[in-house]
Structure 1
């Protein structure tokens, strides 16, 4: 069985770090090859060049212009690349905010994903407090974060923690200070074992 695993969440939650911790154990636990598809790695350079031509600021990655014209093509390409790998028997660990897709539950829509019932789909929502996320974003000093930091009050309005029906089948993971046992418990949930741990928690109230 091929597996499609999404690691989603807002900026500063540690999605890429978590994915890199999980991919080795995932391959071992499932005895399957995995590719790691990080949206920023795949499209960061291209989008920076495009925004540089359009606005003169290659780091303008959260403005209304970017969100309206480049966001959707980036995510569609990310999903299409994952599907190409799945079709040749390589499972995919996909990393990106994907907040709109989680809110609208597109990641559970096999027709939208273009995958059949033979593909196991798991969606992980990674979260930390707004204060922790802001601190991490400042500390990492990534130029791509310049717009959101300069317009934090605007950006923070897009932050949310899934709740209600949005959480059906969604694996919540508090990435504030996870221990090895929390990573192990999340891995067990992804591969289908029934196991609970402190790192996988009910959603926080919005």
Structure 2
């Protein structure tokens, strides 16, 4: 069974930490090798160089310029890389906010993703409160978060929280203070057929 699993949610929710923690248990439970594709790891240096040239701020990841011109190519590159791995029999975990794609239900669309119909799609929405997310962002002291923190009220207002039809099929995970059983339950839900 090939799986394409998305760990989505806003900054500070712990998407990457959660994906890394569950990689081994997912491989064991599914019997499939996995690759981890984190947006910041794959495109962070490239985007820093591009934004440095365009705006003089290599740490900008949230301005309208970034969102309009670099966001989409980064996400398409993640999906293209996942597709290459899936074609080789390697399941993939993609980590990124992907809120627009969740809202528009694109992550459940095999044709939009360009993956075979037999690939199992799972979308995990990782969430915490705004306060916890902000504390985590401040604590990690990543320069890429400077714009978010400087414009926190605007950033917070545009954060999408799935509801109604956009929530259908999401594996909701509250990452505020999960217990070991919560991780086990999430792994079981991801690999369930």
Q: Which residue of 2 aligns with 1:132?
A: 132
For residues 89-168 of structure 1, the aligned pairs below 5 Å read 89-168=89-168
Aligned-pair CA distance for 1:160: 2.7
Q: Distance in 2 between matches of 1:163 and 1:57?
A: 34
Aligned-pair CA distance for 1:4: 0.3
Q: Distance in 2 between matches of 1:98 and 1:121?
A: 15
Cα RMSD (Å): 0.8
For residues 34-113 of structure 1, the aligned pairs below 5 Å read 34-113=34-113
Higher helix share: 2
Q: Which residue of 1 aligns with 2:31?
A: 31
Which sections of structure 2, spanning at least 5 residues, go unmatched?
none
1:37 counterpart SS class: strand
Q: Which has the higher contact order (CA 8 A, sep 6+)?
A: 2
Q: Which residue of 2 aligns with 1:202?
A: none
Q: Would you say how many aligned residue pairs link Structure 1 and Structure 2?
A: 193
More divergent stretch after superposition (109-118 vs 68-77): 109-118
Q: Distance in 2 between matches of 1:187 and 1:36?
A: 15
Q: Distance in 2 between matches of 1:160 and 1:3?
A: 25
Aligned-pair CA distance for 1:157: 1.4
Deviations 1:47-94 (A, max 9, x none): 000000001110011000000000000000010000000001000011
TM-score normalised to structure 1 length: 0.92
Q: Give structure 1 regions of 4+ aligned residues with deviation exceeding 6 angstroms.
A: none
Which sections of structure 1, spanning at least 5 residues, go unmatched?
194-206
